[in-house]
Amino acid sequence: MQVLSKTFTPGILLKTETRKRCAGDLPGTVEMDTPDGVCLAKETTWPCPEYRISEETIRDRCMQELTLVPGIGPLRAAGFRKKGCRNLTDLVHTVWCGSAYEIADVIQNGSPSEIFGIFQDAHRGNDPLLLGFSHALAGEELLYFDIETLGMFQSPIILFGCGFRKGTELTVVQYLLRDIEDEPAALNLTARLFKKHAHVVTYNGKGFDVPYLNNRLSYYGEKTVHPDLHFDLLYPTRRLYRNALDDCCLGTVEKYILKKPRADDLPGYLVPAYYQQYLQKRDVSNLTPIIEHNGLDVANLALLLRTECEAVYG
C-alpha cells in the first residue's frame, strides 16, 4: 500500500505534523504493526446468545412466496391461496408451472446465494425472509461491520468496527487511526477479516460502509472486498417497522425496537468534529466517545439481526 505523507490533506485541513503515539493513553488499545504501517486496535466482548433457524424452515417459508414467479402479483397470489395453492409446487397445473418449477428447484436445492438471486430477480432482494439464512449459517461466517469517517466524500476512514461471534459472545475489534497515514494499516487488517468471514451484516452498508471501504482500498491500489452474502438490515427494518416508527435511523430502532436507548452517546454527526479536535490538540479524550459510539453500533447489529429474525420466524 502507498504510505501517505504527514502533510496529506484529504479535502480538509488535517493537522498531522506532530505525531504523538498515544496507545498508552487509550485504555484497552494496542498497537498493530503491519507491513503497511501501524494503527491502534481495541477488542471488546458483548453477550450474544445463540439463535438458530434450520435451513429447512427457511426454505419452506420461501416456497410459500408465490409472488416470486413472474406474472404473479399480490392479488393473483391471494386468489391462488383461496383456491388452496399454498406453495410453489401447488402451481403445477397452472400456466405458471414452468417458472414455478424452476424457482422451486432453486429454493429447495440451491445455495443461499442462488436463493438470494431468485428474490433479487423478483425485486425482493431485501426481503426480511432472507435474514433467516444469517442464522442458518455458522455464526463464525458472519462479520458485523460499521465505519466512522470524516464526513466528506473520499476522506479517510478513521475507525473500522468489526464484530464476529465466538460461542455465545460477540467479539468487536476496532481499528483506529491515530493519524491519517495510519489508514493503510487499518484497511489491511479489515480486509483480512473480510477474507476470513464470508458474509457481512451492516446497517445501510450496501449504500455506504462497504462501497466506502472499497473506495479507500482502490485508492491505495488494493483488492476490493466482495462478501458472498450481504445482510443490510436497513431495508428489512423499513419493511418490518416503518409503520411503527417515525424513522428508521439506527438510534430510533435501538430505542423503540431493541429497547436499548443510548445514554450519553456521541451522535454520529459529531464524530468528524471530535476527531479533528483530537488531531489539532492531541487530546485522546476526544477519541473515547468515537470508539464507544462505534462499538455500540457493531454490537447492536447482532442484536437487531436476531430480533428481526425472531419477528419473521418466531
Residue 313's Cβ-count burial label (10 Å; 0-12, 13-18, 19+) is middle
DSSP label at residue 206? I
Residue 228 lies in a domain: yes
Residue among 185, 76, 79, 199 nearest 130 (CA): 199
Residues 153 and 115 both lie in one domain: no
Are both 87 and 219 inside the same structural domain?
no
Please indicate, yes or no, whether residues 36 and 91 belong to a single structural domain of this protein. no
pLDDT in tens, the chain (314 residues): 333 333 333 333 333 333 344 445 788 899 999 999 999 999 999 999 888 899 999 999 999 999 999 999 999 999 999 999 999 999 988 999 999 999 999 999 999 999 999 999 999 999 999 999 998 887 778 999 999 999 887 899 999 999 999 888 999 999 999 999 999 999 999 999 999 999 999 999 999 999 999 999 999 999 999 999 999 999 999 999 999 999 999 999 999 999 999 888 999 999 999 999 999 999 999 999 999 999 999 999 999 999 999 999 98
User: Are residues 96 and 234 both part of a single domain?
Assistant: no
Domain interval for residue 95: 66-123
C-alpha cell at 79: 386468489
Long-range contacts of 21-24 (CB under 8 A, 24+ apart): 21/178, 22/178, 22/282, 22/284, 22/287, 23/178
Asked if residue 14 lies in contact with residue 180, where contact means CB atoms within 8 angstroms, the answer is yes
Does any domain span residue 207? yes
Q: Do 78 and 101 belong together in one domain? A: yes
pLDDT tens-digit map of 278-300: 999 999 999 999 999 999 999 99
The CATH number covering residue 148 comes to 3.30.420.10
Coil vs helix vs strand at 78: helix
85, 178: one domain: no
| Coil vs helix vs strand at 174 | strand
**Closest among 282, 276, 303, 121 to 203, alpha carbons compared:** 303
| 78 and 212 part of one domain | no
Give the per-residue pLDDT at 313: 94
Q: Is residue 238 part of a domain?
A: yes
How many domains does the structure of the chain reveal? 2
What is the structure's pLDDT at 230?
Answer: 97
DSSP for 280-291 reads HH--GGGTHHHH
Write out the DSSP string of 249-286.
Answer: -HHHHHHHTS----SSPPPGGGHHHHHHHHHHH--GGG
Sheet holding 29-34, edge to edge: 29-34, 37-47, 169-176, 157-166, 142-149, 199-202, 229-232
Strand ranges inside the chain, DSSP E: 29-34, 37-47, 142-149, 157-166, 169-176, 199-202, 229-232
Q: Which cell is 26 given?
A: 487509550
Q: Is residue 59 part of a domain?
A: no
pLDDT at 18: 33
Residue with cell 406474472: 71
Burial class (CB in 10 A: 0-12, 13-18, 19+), 18: exposed
